[in-house]
Amino acid sequence: MAIGKRHLEGEGKIEKAVGLVASYRSYVMYHIKCTKSNMHSRMRSRVNTWLQVINRAVPDKHSTEKKTVSGRTFKRAGSRAE
């Protein structure tokens, strides 16, 4: 950002230039904070979707032995021993 003589010469131009320069920092800081907040909310939502995918990929831990009504135990066909 450059400020030359023509920006400062004349009635009220110095006050206007000082006001604009002083408020420029606030303007930039506001937009940086908004951008940072937006990025963080997008990252949080992305992490939540990744966690859902990971949780869906984990197989349920079922007991390999089941009992019948009479109390006998059996193993399901196709179950792996872990």
- One pLDDT digit (tens) per residue for the chain, 82 residues: 677 877 788 888 888 888 888 899 899 999 999 999 999 999 999 999 999 999 888 776 665 677 788 888 877 666 555 4
Is this model's pTM higher than 0.75 or not?
no
pLDDT for the residue 63: 59
Nearest of 66, 49, 46, 45 to residue 57 by alpha carbon: 49
Judge whether 42 and 36 are in contact, CB under 8 Å. Answer: no
Asked if 3 and 17 count as a contact pair (C-beta separation under 8 A), the reply is yes
User: What is the SS3 assignment for 58?
Assistant: coil
